[in-house]
């Protein structure tokens, strides 16, 4: 079974500073998140702005992929699904999101590629978040 991990992103509104913590479910259950919160984060103006779930896969740079990451998906063969048709040598950019039963990479125009299609077709996956 894949390890359950979370990414917590804190932002300080005064200094416009971002702090990111990666915790396993076991670490959270053992109180590590409370230790972070009690270490002065809240008193110093930090607020949790995101709590993202590790989806169990890595990108081409061996970075863990978390829910809400922005991904660049690349393929060199024709691909189509109910929402999109892509010719040879294409690139698709979207956020990883979970609908009621699967992970999707969803573009701003609401076109999508199911994550299982990405894995099944060995498409290249790269995280392109702003903080990366």
Helical H segments across the chain, by residue range: 25-29, 32-36, 115-120
Tokens of 59: 């990108």
Contacts of 121 (CB under 8 A, 6+ apart): 75, 77, 79
Q: What is the CA radius of gyration of the chain?
A: 17
Tokens of 11: 């932002």
The secondary structure of 95-117 as a DSSP string is: EEEE-SSSEEEE-TTS-EEEHHH
Q: Among residues 94, 64, 69, which one has the least CA distance to residue 4? A: 64
Predicted model pTM:
0.87
pLDDT in tens, the chain (132 residues): 678 999 999 999 888 899 999 999 999 999 998 898 888 888 888 999 999 999 999 999 999 999 999 999 999 999 999 999 999 999 999 999 998 889 999 999 999 999 999 999 999 999 998 654
pLDDT at 132: 46
């Amino acid at each position: 079974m894949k390890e359950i991990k979370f990414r917590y992103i804190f932002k300080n509104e005064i200094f416009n500073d971002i702090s990111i913590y990666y915790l396993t479910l076991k670490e959270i259950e053992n109180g590590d998140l409370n230790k972070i919160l009690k270490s002065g984060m809240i008193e110093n103006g930090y607020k949790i702005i995101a709590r993202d779930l590790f989806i169990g896969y890595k990108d081409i740079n061996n970075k863990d992929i978390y829910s809400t990451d922005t991904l660049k998906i690349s393929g060199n063969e024709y691909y189509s699904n109910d929402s999109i048709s892509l010719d040879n040598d294409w690139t698709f950019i979207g956020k990883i999101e979970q609908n009621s039963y699967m992970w999707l990479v969803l573009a701003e125009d609401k076109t999508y590629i199911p994550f299982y299609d990405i894995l099944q077709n060995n498409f290249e996956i790269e995280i392109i978040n702003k903080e990366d």
